[in-house]
Amino acid sequence: MRGPLVVKRALSEPLLLLAAFGSILLATTTLVALTMYASSIADAGVRRTMETASYEQTAATVSAPVTAKTFPEFDKAVRAELTAAYTRPPELSTSFRSDSYTMPGQEDRQRPELLRFGGYDGLDRQARLVSGAWPQPGDDPVQAVISLSAASETGFKVGQEFTTRGRLDSRPVRVRVVGVFQLDDPFGARWAGEQLLSRGVERGDFTTYGPLMVPRETFIARFATNVNATWTAVPDLRALTPEQLRPMAGAVAGLEQRLKAAGCGSCVAASHLPEILTQLDTASLVARSTMLIPVLQLLLLAAYALMLTARLLADHRRMEVALLRSRGAGTVRLAVLAGGEALLVALPCAVIAPFLGPPLLAAINRLPWIEAAGVRLSPSADLGTFLVSFGVALAAAVLLMAPALAGARRTYVEEQAARGRGGGRGLIERAGADLALLVVAGLAIWQLQRYGAPVTTTATGGLGIDPLIISGPALALLTGGMLGLRLVPRVSKLAEKITSRRPALAPALGAWQVSRRPLKYAGPALLLTMAIAIGIVSLATAATWRTSQLDQARHQAGADLRLSGPPDGPELGALGRGTAFTTLPGIGAASPGFRGQADVGGENAMLVTLDASKLGELFHLRPDLSDKPVSELSRTLTGNRMDRFELPGKPATLTVNAEASDEVAARLVLTDALGVWRDVPLGVLKAGTSQVEVDLRALAGRKGQITYPVSLLGVIAGAPSGSATLKVTGLSADGQQVTAPPLTMEAELSSAATFVQGAQPGPMPVVLTADLAAALKLSPGQSGRVSIDRRVLQVKVAGVVESMPTTTAGQQAVLADWETMQAYELALAQPPRPATEWWLGTDDPGAATAALKSHPEWDVTVLDQRALAATLQDDPLASGLQGALMLGFLAALVFAALGFLVNAAVAARERMAEFAILRALGVSPRQVFGMLAMEQAFVVGLSLLAGTGLAIVVGELVVPHIVLTGQAAAVTPGVLLDIPWAATALMLVLVTAVLFAILAGLARTVRGQGLSLREEQ
């Protein structure tokens, strides 16, 4: 009879059991979905990172000097170790470079031009033939192919034969050029260390051409004279899982040690992959741990909602249990009844939930940030999913039966005596447990703020999830809500005093009812408070994360577009790069800049120089990082700029006539209209008169153009003898005499003079980071002497910032005006700093970026602020928390609505007799509804206010510390809490509307169930 009795007993309370079923089903489904989501996001994050990883990040190289004798043994060992290091065989290639050979016909020169030979496995897969054929193995003649760029430089043609001799190996080599090839991506990362192969020529102390590429067999037999061989492994990591990250990182990191143990003592292994994999493993662990935060919040909320339902069910059956107890039912019998009833509700949820999880995740797939990332979550129910589901369901069953067992020892008389008693304070408050929880939550949040993530170092030295830290936010929400319960009796008594003085009956009755039994309303109030707080914290975390990604992108880029690369090149010279960049589509503002490490007063700092007048249009500095706006920094940074002599027209050549009293090495400093400074060597001027012609067009490169006018700034000269007089006697532009200011200088070891004499400059304005200003003991407005790259300058602090754009966390930096810095250093006879970067302002960076991509020969690295922001926001590991928060947010609101509905319905049903008496005393139905509305409005209003306040406090303490980078590192600049007040207000309005709609429905139900009938009776 136990089975049928359990079923009959359950069906006797359909509302409460249905509410319990809904709570358990919602809890199990959401928690199962969150568990599947966390695992899927970790897999998707690893997969996405590996799919988008660059060649430099994944490739591993092993280098060793080889001869024809040692190569086969080394090759076998290296290939075996590289293959064993990865989960699947990588793409392996071997490259060689020979010693130097003399260019044909230059054997008798003292400094001949040189030629190199090389070999590369699979070159035919990385390049295409322009003419001829790929070489075949052979020794006489050696068949070789040459790159198109090298062929243009050397003049070698297909079919040409020549003989060359090595600088170290005098044996002649007869070579036949059989083909000309063009690399598919000559400026790609694969050829970053092969500049001779990608460019065809290297110019330094010697000019070297090549390499002439020969088959591997030919190279080993003929050119392997203790030359360097490089093995390169490019693995396919698209199927890598989080569990494989650490083992593979260790395997790749130990390559060199294992090769040395295998007999290759000269082998040197290099790869960034171990570092990348270790960072990714940490990021994956942190992503999973942070997603446990909403899981625990939801778990706590679900547990409380279920306990509330269970308490209502137990209270409703108190007399029934007492009667059973008085008729001989023992504790075991009552426990079996309660347990059977709980399992009857919980077990179906455990079975259904794993099948409801995937559809929920399919809905998550449609979230904008998940969809934009290209992540497709399609997990299926497995054994682990069912274990989680059954674990949650069984825990829920225990919670459901616990209140019934707690009251099972009372007899009928004891229950009658206890019925109707109430108290102003609950057991938890009386015991001080809320204060104890406050201490624990405070400790957890303190640890979160200290460690910066819910992951800490374990006793074994590894990383693990700290349960105290991840439970901190949930405990804080619970503790805040419980502390808020202390206000319920006080606020209800205050409301009773206020309403009792007013003539309206309904508010007075409602307030009196709440103040008479505050604990009846404390439970629903706590549930609503926690749900509202979780909802607002979830919205705030999502908004804060999105804002932080934009802040990070703006800080890392510094400008809309930041271009970096060699300041001078064959295609675009120093005076040609600016013209090419400023004429890109959509560019509105531009500034040349220098950015690099510098010694500043003995501190290692990042030196950034930009055109200060353009800071307002270019410089992305978050307002809270500086006590001055960028516009004010722009004004105060501009110091004494140097006057210049402007050359008329658009000259292609410049002739300089000079007279020296002794031998002098001189350099002419000039600038274009874009502000790019360049020093041009005039050579060593002999004693007497000299004439030097400067090719201005060459300063723009082969494909560059100068932005005129060109202006002359000064001359830097040094006399080997220690003292000499140098005078510029005349200038000619394109053969036309130019009247220039006289320039006469006394040249010592290093001296400088300007064409136009200006006023004596004052201190150079600079902006310092706060830590650098503290190290230099300078504050805003102060002046002092500071050494910058061992050059002592008088500086004035124009401003202090917490963090400088383009710098990393904790990096010291100094910002100066581009022209002012150049002028001060010219006065110290230092050559001008090159324009290593260009900062551009644009409303459409996509058009400019597309134009730059069409010119790979310009050798430019583009940092697009909008593209960087999109990349940061599309990172699954970094954005994964957002989906979990949305799931938890929606579930929390459903829990709140369900709990409110059940409590309000049960309260109304229990008070039907009370309502009938009020009607008999002449209270109208509208006044009864008003009283009910007043009671529930007290719960709703107090919960909304308390939940919002609690969310603000918890958000400020927690949210900035769980927003991390995709590599699980602290964010730069620091995270600022962003509460979307419009969305928050809309949520509160919708919640209020739903709750009062529930209340209105209950009022109609109460009226329909027979108030009039009870009145007649």
Identity of the amino acid at 961: H
Per-residue confidence (pLDDT) for residue 195, from 0 to 100? 77
pLDDT tens-digit series, residues 657-673: 999 999 898 999 999 99
Q: Which is nearest to 377 in space by CA: 395, 360, 354, 393?
A: 360
CA atoms within 13 A on the CB side of 40: 24
Q: Tell whether the model's pLDDT for residue 2 goes beyond 50.
A: no
β partners of residue 269: 62
In angstroms, what is the C-alpha Rg of the chain? 39
- Banded pLDDT at 383 (limits 50, 70, 90): confident
Per-residue confidence (pLDDT) for residue 5, from 0 to 100? 62
Per-residue confidence (pLDDT) for residue 966, from 0 to 100? 60
CA distance 857 to 603: 37
Per-residue confidence (pLDDT) for residue 692, from 0 to 100? 92
Per-residue confidence (pLDDT) for residue 570, from 0 to 100? 79
Per-residue confidence (pLDDT) for residue 659, from 0 to 100? 92
User: What contacts 513, CB < 8 A, 6 or more positions away?
Assistant: 931, 935
191 neighbors 140 (Cβ within 8 angstroms): no
Per-residue confidence (pLDDT) for residue 1012, from 0 to 100? 47
Per-residue confidence (pLDDT) for residue 459, from 0 to 100? 58
Per-residue confidence (pLDDT) for residue 772, from 0 to 100? 94
Q: Which H or E run contains 518?
A: helix 518-557
Extract the runs of DSSP E, i.e. beta strands, from 38-90.
60-67
pLDDT tens-digit series, residues 329-342: 666 776 677 777 77
pLDDT tens-digit series, residues 721-755: 878 999 999 999 998 899 888 888 988 888 888 88
- Banded pLDDT at 522 (limits 50, 70, 90): confident
β-pairing, 463-465 vs 561-564, is unpaired
- The more confident residue out of 416 and 834 is 834
Which residue has tokens 């064993």? 84
- The more confident residue out of 349 and 424 is 349
CA atoms within 13 A on the CB side of 101: 27
CA distance 183 to 197: 9
> What average pLDDT does this structure show over 795-799?
92
- The more confident residue out of 354 and 903 is 354
Q: Tell whether the model's pLDDT for residue 971 goes beyond 60.
A: yes
Per-residue confidence (pLDDT) for residue 1011, from 0 to 100? 46
786 neighbors 767 (Cβ within 8 angstroms): no
- The more confident residue out of 415 and 683 is 683
Class of domain 645-754: mainly beta
- Banded pLDDT at 427 (limits 50, 70, 90): very low
3-state secondary structure labels for all residues of 619-681? CCCCHHHECCCHHHHHHHHCCCCCCCEECCCCCCEEEEEEEECCCEEEEEEEECCCCCEEEEE
Q: Tell whether the model's pLDDT for residue 493 goes beyond 90.
A: no
User: What contacts 981, CB < 8 A, 6 or more positions away?
Assistant: none
Per-residue confidence (pLDDT) for residue 421, from 0 to 100? 46
Q: Tell whether the model's pLDDT for residue 142 goes beyond 70.
A: yes
Per-residue confidence (pLDDT) for residue 668, from 0 to 100? 93
Q: Which of 271-280, 368-377, 442-451, 960-969 has the lowest mean pLDDT?
A: 368-377
- Banded pLDDT at 694 (limits 50, 70, 90): very high
Per-residue confidence (pLDDT) for residue 703, from 0 to 100? 87
Percent with pLDDT over 70 in the chain: 83
Angle 487-500/505-516 helices, nearest 10 degrees?
A: 150
CA distance 466 to 458: 9
297 neighbors 473 (Cβ within 8 angstroms): yes
Q: For 422-462, where are the alpha helices, taking DSSP H only?
A: 427-431, 433-451
Q: Tell whether the model's pLDDT for residue 619 goes beyond 90.
A: yes
pLDDT tens-digit series, residues 991-1005: 888 888 887 777 776
Give me the chain's average pLDDT, please.
Answer: 83
Residue ranges covered by each domain of the chain = 2-47+280-551+873-1016, 61-236, 587-641+761-842, 645-754
β-pairing, 645-646 vs 711-718, is antiparallel
Would you say the C-alpha torsion 173, 178, 180, 184 has a positive or negative sign? negative
Which residue has tokens 């190569």? 71
Per-residue confidence (pLDDT) for residue 778, from 0 to 100? 92
Per-residue confidence (pLDDT) for residue 1016, from 0 to 100? 46
Per-residue confidence (pLDDT) for residue 4, from 0 to 100? 62
Extract the runs of DSSP E, i.e. beta strands, from 734-864.
736-738, 743-747, 751-754, 764-769, 783-788, 791-801, 813-817, 837-842, 861-864
Q: Tell whether the model's pLDDT for residue 638 goes beyond 80.
A: yes
Helix (H, G, I), strand (E, B) or coil at 153: helix
Q: Tell whether the model's pLDDT for residue 265 goes beyond 50.
A: yes
> What average pLDDT does this structure show over 33-39?
81
Q: Tell whether the model's pLDDT for residue 576 goes beyond 90.
A: yes
559 phi and psi, to 5 degrees?
-145, 175
Q: Tell whether the model's pLDDT for residue 907 goes beyond 80.
A: no
CA distance 803 to 812: 8
Per-residue confidence (pLDDT) for residue 476, from 0 to 100? 84
Bond prior to 709 in cis (omega within 30° of 0): yes
45 neighbors 64 (Cβ within 8 angstroms): no
Q: Tell whether the model's pLDDT for residue 314 goes beyond 50.
A: yes
Identity of the amino acid at 745: M
118 neighbors 197 (Cβ within 8 angstroms): yes
Q: Which of 41-50, 556-565, 601-610 has the lowest mean pLDDT?
A: 41-50
Could you count the other beta carbons within 10 Å of the beta carbon of residue 183? 19
User: What contacts 383, CB < 8 A, 6 or more positions away?
Assistant: none
Helix (H, G, I), strand (E, B) or coil at 433: helix
Q: Tell whether the model's pLDDT for residue 869 goes beyond 50.
A: yes
- The more confident residue out of 921 and 2 is 921
- The more confident residue out of 758 and 48 is 48
β-pairing, 561-564 vs 127-132, is unpaired
- Banded pLDDT at 541 (limits 50, 70, 90): confident
Q: Which is nearest to 527 in space by CA: 493, 481, 559, 567?
A: 481
CA distance 434 to 444: 15
Q: Which of 275-289, 349-363, 476-490 has the lowest mean pLDDT?
A: 476-490
679 neighbors 669 (Cβ within 8 angstroms): yes
CA distances for 45 relative to 286, 345, 601, 866, 925, angstroms: 12, 37, 43, 21, 59
Per-residue confidence (pLDDT) for residue 641, from 0 to 100? 77
pLDDT tens-digit series, residues 228-248: 899 999 999 888 888 889 899
Q: Which of 100-114, 847-861, 867-881 has the lowest mean pLDDT?
A: 867-881
Longest dimension (CA), the chain: 130
